[in-house]
Structure 1
C-alpha cells in the first residue's frame, strides 16, 4: 500500500468503530471462507491505527499469515493445527499502518470454531534479504529504518485480548495499532522495536443483528490502471452526512484488470440510528496516490436499502465498473 494518500476521514470515530469494515485484500487459505454451522462462526479481522506522534511518516508491515488463538491454547506454535488460520498471504501483503486513520483494512474473513479467544498473531515476513518491516520519519521520508521484529517473524506478533466467536454469526474484531506505544526507539542501541503491547483487540459486534453491510467490487476497464479509490456511504431520504468513508487500494487481477473489493457496515434502515434513510455509495478513483483529481467519473449507486444481519451487494451484482 502506498503512503501519503489523503484519506477521507469520517466525522464520527464512534460510527467508524461501530459500523465500518473496508476490505481490499482477502488472504488465501481461509481468507474467503464464510460458511457457518451450529459449531462455527465467521470471524472478520481488520487492522486500523490511532494517531501517531508527528515524527513518524509511515509504519510499514508485511504480513504473511494471521492466526487466532483459542483461550487455553496460548502455548501452541503458530503452525499448530489447533490454531485457526484467518488468512495467509503468499509472498506477504504490505500494510502502511499510518494510512488507515481509524479506517479498518480487512485482513481476512473465515469460519472458525465458536468459543472464546485470547490472542491474535500476525506472522510477519523477514527483513532479509528484502526490508519488509520498517518506519520512515517525517524529516527523512525517503529513508527506510528497519523495525526489529524477530519474534513476529518466527512465532508471530502476539496481540493479547479476549474476544468471542458466536456460532452462526458474523463476528468482527479490529486490531487497533497505536504507533506511540507499538514503535519503541531503543536509545543508544539504535534499534526500532515493534511491541505487541501497542496493539489492542476491539470486538466491534458479535453479530450483524445491530448492523447491515454494503459490499462490492470496484474495477476498471481492461488494461486501465488505477491505484486507489475513496468509498463513501451517505444516507438519503432524508439526506445526511457520510456514515462511513475510507480508501481502498487496487490489485492486479487477470485478465488485465485492476480491481478491489470493499464492505461497509452501516446502521440498517428503520433503525434507531437511521429511522428512515436509504443509502448511496460514492466512489472516486485515482490513477496514483499523488493525484488529487479523480481519473474516472464519480460513481454513484442507486438508492440502497440495508437490512440488519444481511449483506447487500451494490447493484448490479456487486460490480462497480469505473468509466471515463
Structure 2
C-alpha cells in the first residue's frame, strides 16, 4: 500500500492512499471525485563517445508540488540502468503508475547512489576499465530537474527524462572517477516527435578518420550557428550517434523531441568535444528542420 507519511512516500504496487493534511482533500466523505493522478517516468540518453557503459543506480524520486513540501518516493529496491543501452529512441521505465496529488509541480529530483566510495553502484566503463561516477552534492540534491510539470486529476501523465551524456560526463582534475552532472531534458510523451535519417557514406569517409562515424547535433531554433559543447553560445539540445546499419548505410535517430524549429548539423569531431572546454569542430550539411508531434521527420546529410 502506498502510504503518505509527512514528506515520505514508500513506493508500492497498490494505489490505496492514506490521506494526511490537505494534500488529498477528497479522502473520506461523500465526495468521490479523485484528487490524485498517475505519473509515469522513463529514461533515455543522448550518447557519449568512448564509453561502453554508463550505469546509474536510482534509489527513488522526489517531487515538489507547487506551494507544498517535497514528496519523496523510495523504491523497494534500487534500479540499475545502463543509459548507453538506450540510445536511438529506446527508453527504460523508472516510475510506473505512481499515484500523486493532482496539480502543478515545480521540480523533481532523481535520487541516486553515486559517490567516490569504491562501491561502484554507479559507474562508467571506458576501454574495458570501470570508473566510479559521482554526482556533485548527490546526497543532498541528487539529479534535479527544475522544469515544471503537471499531474492531471483523475488521469495519467507520461514523461521521458533524456540524459545528455555528452554534456553530463566530466573527468575531474586530480580526482578519481568521473562526475555526472544533471543535464537532463524532461519531455511530455504526448507531445514529442523524432528526427532520423541517413548520413551519406562519402560524407562519413571524408569527415572521419579511423573507425569514427560522428553524430548529428540538434540546436533549438532555426538558423543557429553550430557550436561545440562548452557551456557557451549555442548548445546542442540533443544529439544522435551515426552508425552503420544492416542495409550498409549510416543512420541516426534523435527521439523524444518537443515540437518546434531546430537546426541540425553533422560532425565527426565528437570524440574531441569536451563539455567544459571550447573546441573548434567541423560541421557539414547544417540545415533547418521542423519537428511535429507524433511524426518522424527525415533529414539526410549528403556530401
TM-score by length of 1: 0.46
Radius of gyration: which is bigger?
Answer: 2
- Structure possessing the higher relative contact order (Cα contacts under 8 Å, 6 or more residues apart): 1
